[in-house]
Chains A and B, each alone.
Chain A
Amino acid sequence: MIRDFEYLRAGSLPEALDYLARYGERAKILCGGQSLLILMRQGLVQPEFLIDIKGLEELNFVELTAEKGLRLGATTTHRTIEKSPLIKEHFPLLAEMEKNLASIQTRNWGTIGGNLAHADPAGDPAPVLIAMKAKVILQKKEEKRVLELEDFFLDFFETTLAPDELLREIEVPPIPEQTGVYYEKFTILKSDQGIVSVAGLINLDDGLRCREARIVLGGAAPKPLRAKKAEKVLCGEKIDSKLLEKAGEEASRESEPVSDIHASEEYRRYLVKFLVKKIVGRAWAKAKELAENKGG
């Protein structure tokens, strides 16, 4: 059951930061609450104070600039991201990923900031955003810091957020030309929580060699995992099916999946290999298509 707590509604970001500075250790940020309330009901989290930032419109935005790329406010709902014409046009994979996340009800109220702060290693947004080289802006009362999203996660449901700090914004740099980026999660039932998921980004140079590869695994480690060894296999090379096979094997080796009632470790490793091959293959094919069609 949910224990009693003191409810603090933040009318502005400074007010929220002020509350955090004062109550940090004894408080939790409430936004969409789609994950937090379940934890509280199970008794896993029992904060004395809840700082409600759901109403902070100043953190509810989707903006696109040429230099910075995409800026997402932390209190932006999944549904907003899913439906945003801006995102559909410039970062369609984000909208696609959101479409298959949980259910409409969850997406209507749950937020991207809340999702990332919850740090579920099987969550969908993190692998996609990490593949896209997203950064997060963390804020405390007197201090702001910017991190690569992949460095934001520490462990199962654990981030680097200090008790008096909140996640305020996510930045996704513009996707360079000649880039393909895809995401897929393996589920038994549709739109379920993924058993394992893979996000892959491939950027090709004019010689159709892989200039950059980013492969991120979800549900295959205590946190979203960059399969760096697998990426190395591809970098600088002309990608073919043999290379994809090797990258898949490498990713499978470097993943750290667990066995649970849904899948054994062995099967998860197998799925990593399978999905990496598939997703990176698609990303490469797309990048190749874009490169070949460039300049008419």
Chain B
Amino acid sequence: MEKRLIRIKVNGDYYELYIKPKKLLVEVLRDELELTGTKRGCNTGSCGACTVLLNGHSVKSCSVLALQADGAEIITVEGLENSGRLSPLQISFLDHGAFQCGFCTPGMLISAVALLRENPNPSEEEIRGGIHGNLCRCTGYNSIVRAIKAVAEGKYREEEK
């Protein structure tokens, strides 16, 4: 099967890649672009460790063919910082200890970013719903909810400037 060309913007940078049609977006990000921040934890689209932003929407990159992302804008965990300055959400995660082994964390952060972009003032129930698609075996989620809530409550406004 012939390789196809895709043009994709990832974390602000443009890439042109030749890939086999069956390549998944997560494989292109991790293997071709070596952005290994995004992880994989299952084969059934269940764990959310591969979550990235695609044209502003959170998607599971293991369940999107790379070819379908042709022309799209992708944000991965590596794209959350701004010239090395951590985003408010990332600082909040540090402050609240909202990670332990860290394997689910990149996907979790992306889901949190997507949530807050769409709903800057979510209730606790909405926060939990916002990260429902991301499995974590270490934290029991409550520290993650606290971290997201703190950002939503404006505790990191200074960082946002």
Contact = CB atoms under 8 A, between A and B. Distances in A.
Do chains A and B make direct contact within the complex (CB under 8 angstroms)?
yes
Interface of A: 2-7, 9, 30, 33-34, 37-38, 41-42, 50, 52, 54, 79, 99, 102-106, 108-109, 190-191
A191 B125 CA distance: 13
21 contacts: A4-B20, A4-B22, A7-B1, A7-B65, A9-B67, A34-B63, A37-B24, A37-B45, A50-B21, A50-B65, A54-B68, A103-B134, A104-B58, A104-B111, A104-B129, A105-B48, A105-B58, A106-B45, A106-B60, A108-B58, A109-B54
Contact of A109 (B59, B129, B132): B59
B114 interface: yes
B48 A52 contact: no
Interface string B10-53: 00000000001110100000000000000000011100100100
Contacts of A9: 67
Top 8 nearest A-B pairs by Cβ distance?
A: A103-B133, A7-B21, A4-B1, A108-B57, A109-B59, A2-B22, A105-B133, A105-B60
Contacts of B157: none
A104 B44 contact: no
B88 interface: no
B60 A5 contact: no
Interface string B60-79: 10111101100000000000
B130 interface: yes
Given A38-B43, A105-B48, A109-B57, A190 B132 contact: yes
Contact of B22 (A3, A108, A190): A3
Given A5-B21, A6-B1, 8 more contacts: A7-B67, A9-B67, A37-B62, A37-B65, A52-B65, A79-B57, A105-B111, A108-B58
Nearest to B110: A105
A33 B62 CA distance: 10
B4 interface: yes
B133 A104 contact: yes
B134 to A, nearest CB: 8
Nearest to A55: B68
A243 B43 CA distance: 46
- B interface secondary structure, majority: mixed
Interface of B: 1, 4, 20-22, 24, 43-45, 48, 51, 54, 57-60, 62-65, 67-68, 111, 114-115, 129-130, 132-134
Contacts of B4: 7
A98 to B, nearest CB: 12
A105 B62 CA distance: 11
Contacts of A41: 43
Contacts of B54: 108-109
B65 A102 contact: no
Residue of A37, A42, A104 ringed by the most chain B CB atoms within 10 A: A104
Given A5-B1, A5-B21, A109 B133 contact: no
A33 B65 contact: yes
A52 B1 contact: no
Contacts of B51: 105
A2 B63 CA distance: 12
A6 B1 CA distance: 6
Residue of B4, B24, B59, B114 ringed by the most chain A CB atoms within 10 A: B59
